């Protein structure tokens, strides 16, 4: 068997043009598949950045809310009801809205303002600079140090700007797990200050953050909130809801998934056609092997080995090329959203295995029909 596989390897790599075409097709397909899926995952992760960064276990919201960006204010009695629900350790309001700040140089920059509960600051980010207690000081804001940080002029502690004719002062610089999606910097302050500084509707509570006593209490909390006409979701469920909305209702997700499917079809067609041409050009060699006693299953092993070798070589090169591109892109574009995960790699692996399987099937069918008599007669 080792001799057969060695012969298959030499037969494959000696035809450099066909070997490079095979590997190149799978590399290109893998690159596009991983690139599109990693960009898709990165966008969905950033779309849920507020949920990830806040870290609350249960979120209460209006039933019409699909993402953090389209929050709908809830009356004050909702939070009172949630706090009185059995199984709730505590519940706090969260303010989330967009605003426009005026920087020291006179330019304006859109920002997202997160208002934390004044009493607990539940959901506060970890600070790289400053003390979180300083957020209670006059006009105090904490800025998030993410990919959008420089859009505020790389502020430091003490930097001043203007928000809706109010003076605002940076008292801390925070680090978060995920940057936002739309290139908008994020500021944290207290709930009351956010309501005071930013024009709002009659109801200002965008979300209610709930900490249940135990995980077993969550279904009861959900049922009680639903009886009031609102929705309670765990953090994972809210992230899934946001992902579903961006995937199926914004068009962006489906466009990227279609690109991944097209990449798969392109790779499959290129590899299948090239491998079939390779088999045709080496038909005499396979016929000679059959004539000297090679069994059909041994020829099948040769074909499977050649297809598998080219597939996994292309897979490795494609993943490496995509990783290099993402690395270089982030050097110049810090807010580039692509993110390679285990899921991306598994999707690429499955698609490459399918490509290898189809290519092998095409080659095996041709090789098994070869008759040594026809080869030598020609």
Q: How far apart are CA 300 and CA 347, in angstroms?
A: 26
Q: Which domain holds residue 85?
A: 75-229
Domain check: are 200 and 114 in the same one? yes
List Cα–Cα distances, 339 to 32, 98, 163, 202, 343, in angstroms: 14, 26, 33, 39, 11
pTM of the complete model: 0.75
**Gyration radius of the chain's alpha carbons:** 29
356 within a domain of the structure (yes/no):
yes
How do the pLDDT tens digits run along the chain, 378 residues long? 667 778 778 877 777 877 887 788 888 888 888 888 888 888 888 888 888 889 899 999 999 998 888 888 999 899 999 999 999 999 999 999 888 999 888 889 999 999 999 999 998 999 999 899 999 988 999 999 887 888 888 889 999 999 988 999 999 999 887 777 777 889 999 999 999 998 878 888 999 999 999 999 999 999 999 999 999 999 999 999 988 888 877 766 777 778 777 877 876 777 777 777 777 777 777 777 777 776 777 777 888 888 888 888 888 998 999 999 988 888 887 777 788 888 888 888 888 888 778 777 777 777 777 666 555 555
Q: Would 347 be classed as within a structural domain?
A: yes
Q: Are residues 146 and 32 in the same domain?
A: no
- C-alpha span between 219 and 232 (Å, rounded): 9
> How many residues are recorded in the chain?
378
Q: What H or E segment, with its residue span, contains residue 167?
A: strand 166-175
Residues 157 and 223 in one domain: yes
Q: Is residue 55 part of a domain?
A: no
331: in domain: yes
Chain segment 243-298, per-residue pLDDT in tens: 888 887 776 677 777 877 787 787 677 777 777 777 777 777 777 777 777 677 77
Question: Domain total for the chain?
Answer: 2
Let me know whether 255 and 224 are in one domain: no
Quick one: which H or E segment has residue 275? helix 252-281
- Helices (H), ranges, 2-156: 2-14, 16-47, 49-54, 76-83
Residue 149 forms part of a structural domain: yes
First to last CA, the chain: 29
Q: Are residues 277 and 168 in the same domain?
A: no
| 89 and 225 in a common domain | yes
């Amino acid at each position: 068997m080792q001799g057969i596989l060695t012969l298959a390897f030499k037969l494959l790599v000696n035809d450099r043009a066909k070997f490079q075409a095979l590997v190149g097709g799978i590399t290109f397909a893998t690159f596009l598949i991983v690139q599109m899926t990693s960009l898709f995952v990165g966008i969905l992760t950033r779309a849920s950045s507020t949920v990830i960064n806040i870290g609350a276990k249960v979120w209460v919201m209006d039933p019409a809310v699909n993402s953090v960006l389209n929050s709908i204010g809830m009356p004050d009695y909702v939070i009172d009801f949630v706090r009185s629900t059995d199984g709730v350790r505590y519940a706090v309001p969260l303010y989330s809205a967009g605003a426009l700040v005026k920087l020291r140089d006179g330019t304006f920059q859109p920002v997202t303002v997160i208002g934390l509960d004044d009493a607990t600051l539940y959901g506060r980010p970890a600070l790289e600079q400053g003390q979180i207690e300083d957020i209670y000081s006059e006009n105090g804001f904490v800025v998030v140090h993410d990919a959008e940080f420089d859009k505020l002029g790389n502020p430091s502690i003490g930097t001043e700007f203007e928000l809706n004719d109010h003076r605002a002062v940076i008292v801390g610089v925070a680090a978060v797990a995920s940057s936002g999606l739309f290139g908008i910097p994020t500021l944290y302050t207290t709930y009351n200050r956010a309501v005071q500084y930013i024009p709002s509707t009659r109801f200002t509570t965008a979300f209610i953050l709930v900490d249940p006593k135990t995980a077993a209490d969550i279904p009861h909390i959900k049922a009680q909130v639903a009886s009031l006409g609102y929705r309670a979701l765990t953090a994972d469920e809210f992230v899934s809801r946001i992902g579903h909305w961006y995937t199926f209702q914004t068009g962006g997700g489906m466009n990227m998934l279609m690109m991944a499917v097209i990449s798969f079809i392109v790779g499959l067609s290129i590899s299948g056609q090239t491998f079939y041409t390779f088999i045709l050009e080496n038909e005499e060699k396979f016929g000679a092997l059959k004539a000297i006693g090679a069994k059909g299953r041994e020829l099948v092993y040769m074909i499977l080995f050649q297809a598998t070798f080219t597939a996994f070589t292309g897979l490795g090169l494609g993943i490496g090329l995509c990783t290099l591109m993402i690395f270089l892109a982030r050097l110049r574009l810090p807010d580039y959203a692509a993110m390679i995960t285990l899921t991306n790699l598994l999707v690429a692996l499955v698609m490459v295995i399918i490509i290898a399987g189809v290519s092998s099937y095409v080659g095996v069918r041709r090789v098994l029909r070869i008759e040594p008599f026809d080869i030598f007669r020609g």
